[in-house]
Amino acid sequence: MAGELYKKPIMFAIVSAVVILIGTAVTMFIPMLTAQMHPKLENLNPYTALQLAGRDIYQREGCNNCHTQTVRPLRTEVMRYGEYSKAGEFAYDRPFLWGSKRTGPDLARIGKKYPDQWHYRHFDDPRKFFPQSNMPTYGWLKDYKLDPQDVQGHMDALGFPYSSDDISQLAGKNDLDALVAYVQVIGTAVAKKRAAPAKAMTEPVDLVNPLAGDAAAINAGEIIYEENCLECHGPELKGDIGPSLVDNVYLYQPGDLADDDYFEMIYNGTEEGQIEEGRTMKGGMPSLGDVLSKEEIWSVIAYIRSLQTGEEGK
C-alpha cells in the first residue's frame, strides 16, 4: 500500500501534511496549554491600576524603543544590570516589553533602585542627572490627569483583578505619577543579588585623600559636584533626594566615615543591604566609577570636606 501511495503525489502530499500537523500539535501546541509552560514567580503580583496605567504610558511614549527590559544570562550583562531575567516574572506582561535596542540602559532591574523623587526629577530633565543623556524630557506628563474609566477598561481587557477602591485611588493622579509607579515595580519580583561593581578598581584606595586641603582640587571638586551630585544632595550639601553630606550622620548612624569609605561609595554607588563599616545602606546612589577619574573623585571629597570644616577653596 505504501508503494501505491508514493505513486500518487497529491495524496502523498496530503497525508504528509496531516502527519506533520498532528506531530506539531502534539509537540508544540498541546504543551503550550499546560501549566508548566506558563511559570509565575512567587513574588509576582498583577499590576495595580496605577501601575498598569503607567505601563500603557510607557508603551505610548515609545520608551521600549530605546530601553530593553531583559537581562541576558551573560556575565557582562549580569555584572552591569543585575540578576538575569526569568520567564516567570513576565506572566502579567501583555505584550512583553523586552525590546531589542539599547539607546538607553536596560530597565529590567530599575524597580526600587532609586527613590520616587529621583524618577520624577529624572523624567522632568534627564540631563540634570546625566549631562550626556539624549533622553527626551517627560515633565509635561504631570499636566495630564488619568481617566479612571479608561484604566478600568484596560484592566477588564487584560483580566486583571481590581475593586472600586483601586479605581477610586486614581483620582487626582496624573500620567507622570502612573509612569513612576510602573517603573518602580519593574523587575521587583526577582530577589536582588549583589551586583559586581561596574568597573573594578585597578589599584588600592588611599586611606587619606591626597588632595585634602588643596585649593585647586576643592574648586575643581565643586564643579564636579554641581555636575554630578547637586541634584540629589542639594546646592549646599544639606540633602534633598539623598542625605546631607555636612552633618554628623553617615549611612544613618552618627559619626563620620574615613576618606576611603567616601571614595568607595562614590565609585561603586550604594545598594540596599550593602554593608560599609558596619553600617547598612538603603541604596539609591548610582555608581560614578565609569564617569569620574580617581583624581576627580578625590577632588569631590576634598570639596565636601572643605564645607564640613568650614574651609574655603576660593
The model's pTM is 0.76
DSSP 174: B
Residue 263 CA: distances (Å) to CA of 2, 23, 130, 140: 79, 62, 20, 37
Q: Which residue has 499546560 as its cell numbers?
A: 34
Averaged pLDDT, 263-281: 87
R_g of the chain computed on alpha carbons: 26
The architecture in CATH of the region 215-309 reads Orthogonal Bundle (1.10)
H or E, element range at 250: strand 249-250
Which CATH number applies to 49-183? 1.10.760.10
pLDDT at 197: 46
DSSP 314: -
CATH 1.10.760.10 region(s) of the chain?
A: 49-183, 215-309
Task: Classify 207 in phi/psi space as left (phi over 0), alpha (psi -120 to 50) or beta.
Answer: alpha
- Cβ neighbours of residue 212 closer than 8 Å, sequence gap 6 or more: 259, 301, 302, 305
Q: Which residue has the higher pLDDT, 3 or 172?
A: 172
Q: Are 54 and 182 in contact (CB under 8 A)?
A: yes
Confidence of residue 290 (pLDDT cuts 50, 70, 90): confident
pLDDT at 165: 87
H or E, element range at 53: helix 49-60
Residue 284 CA: distances (Å) to CA of 42, 99, 235, 237: 25, 25, 19, 17
Neighbours of 304 (CB within 10 A): 23
Alpha-carbon distance of 177 to 144, in angstroms, equals 10
Confidence of residue 204 (pLDDT cuts 50, 70, 90): low
Q: What is the pLDDT of residues 138-193, one digit of tens each?
A: 999 999 999 999 999 999 998 888 888 889 989 999 999 999 999 999 999 987 75
Q: What is the pLDDT of residues 48-78, one digit of tens each?
A: 999 999 999 999 999 999 999 999 999 888 8
What cell numbers appear for 192 in the block? 536582588
